[in-house]
Chains A and B, each alone.
Chain A
Amino acid sequence: MSKSSPLFLLSLCLPLLALLPSVRVYLEVNMLRHMLVVMPLLVFAGFLFAYGVPRKVRRALRPWNKFGVPGLLLASGLIATWMIPFALDRAIENPQVDAAKTFSLFLAGIALALSLSLAPLVTQLFFIWNWVAMAVFTGVLYQSLPQRLCSAYLLDDQGRTGLGLVVFAAAIGCTWCASAWTRHHKVVATSTGG
């Protein structure tokens, strides 16, 4: 993908759009939309953006990102940060914190895209499995806790988000399995000369 491609520009528009005051309120009005639509889209936008990063820059970053481990660590740490209710509450209350959230999730997406291709399957499995397990656990917790975790959101919204989180995590897990399967078969095919 070249730098001027529409997808590249679109990926930049998304985080900027998410920061407009009125759009922000709309996007964060309920927990499900905030956590399962807006946040994944921001990561996804960063992911798309990474494809527009010039090959030169990618090559220069490679020695710093051996097996993609530092990048995957960064992505998982940033994503985990915004899954903490206290952080989410502050992002809703304070536009500056929200800007930090938007930027860091976008950055997580870039790091993810630049690192997944460098990481061996075992490394990928480690990070993906960790995230999926955490998200499923969090999702079940959201559904079963009698009290609200985010003071900005309602309890039934929290329950729905919990269910959504479990489904979303399962989908991510399955997607990764499918991609790992194809990648493994490609590797086997090339190594056997077929």
Chain B
Amino acid sequence: MRAAVATLAVSLAIVFSLGWASNGFTALTSQKARQLAVATEPRDVPDVELVMANGERRMLHEILSGRRGSTVVGFFYAGCQTICLTLANDFTQLQGSLTDRSDDLEVNLLSISFAPETDSPTVLQAYAKRMAAQVGIWDIAVIRHTKDLPDLYRSFGLRVIGDGKGGYVHNSAFHILSPEGKLVGIVDLARPQAALKLATSAAML
């Protein structure tokens, strides 16, 4: 009897502990948990100062509110040879779909570099040229102050770690932002069409 009680109690404890560890049996990774959390409750992102590829300084919220629809944001650094290439590739594809679209629902693209030490406007301009990014559809910018980074990382759920070779390793995704400066959705990399769909539906709200 006592053993049965103990087994039951332990089983309950295990269900609780595994449930906690897996975001209530819905996610095994923090990336997935973050996506679910944002989808149910959009969160504010900090209004950071950016330097655009043309050297102009602008605030993030000002860029977002100045646009008609929602904005798909991706984080990168210009020297990245891994995940950012996938992101850039997806953004190119998105830009293609956006220029083809006949509806007037606007979705915009914004790449933000988190490496102000290396990514000067000149570097960004070269990057934009390489990616054939069209100003007004796909804007490219860099964070102005390094001190804004921790706050930015926290609100977007970014993780950036040095790779020991002077570069960075980081997670990346499509972040869908509303004109009000809220993060309304996160879509996995390599699923650009899903990101576009979500951004379009966010724009209709």
Contacts and interface: CB of A to CB of B under 8 A. Distances in A.
- Does B bind A? yes
Interface of A: 63-67, 69-71, 73-74, 77-78, 80-82, 84-87, 89-90, 104, 148-152, 154-155
Given A84-B21, A86-B22, A154 B2 contact: no
A70 B21 contact: no
Contacts of B23: 86
7 contacts: A65-B3, A67-B3, A71-B10, A74-B14, A86-B23, A86-B30, A151-B171
Contacts of B29: 85-86, 89, 149-151
A82 B20 CA distance: 11
A85 B3 contact: no
Contacts, number: 81
Nearest to B158: A151
A154 B169 contact: yes
B38 interface: no
Q: Is the contact region of chain A dominated by helix, strand, or loop, or is it mixed?
A: helix
A108 B190 CA distance: 40
A87 B161 contact: no
Contacts of B20: 81, 87
Interface residues of B, number: 29
A73 B10 contact: yes
B30 A64 contact: no
Given A78-B14, A81-B17, A86-B32, 19 more contacts: A63-B2, A63-B3, A64-B2, A66-B2, A70-B9, A71-B10, A73-B7, A81-B14, A81-B20, A81-B21, A86-B30, A87-B21, A89-B29, A89-B30, A90-B30, A148-B171, A151-B30, A151-B31, A154-B169
A94 B204 CA distance: 38
A65 B29 CA distance: 34
Contacts of A69: 3, 7
B39 interface: no
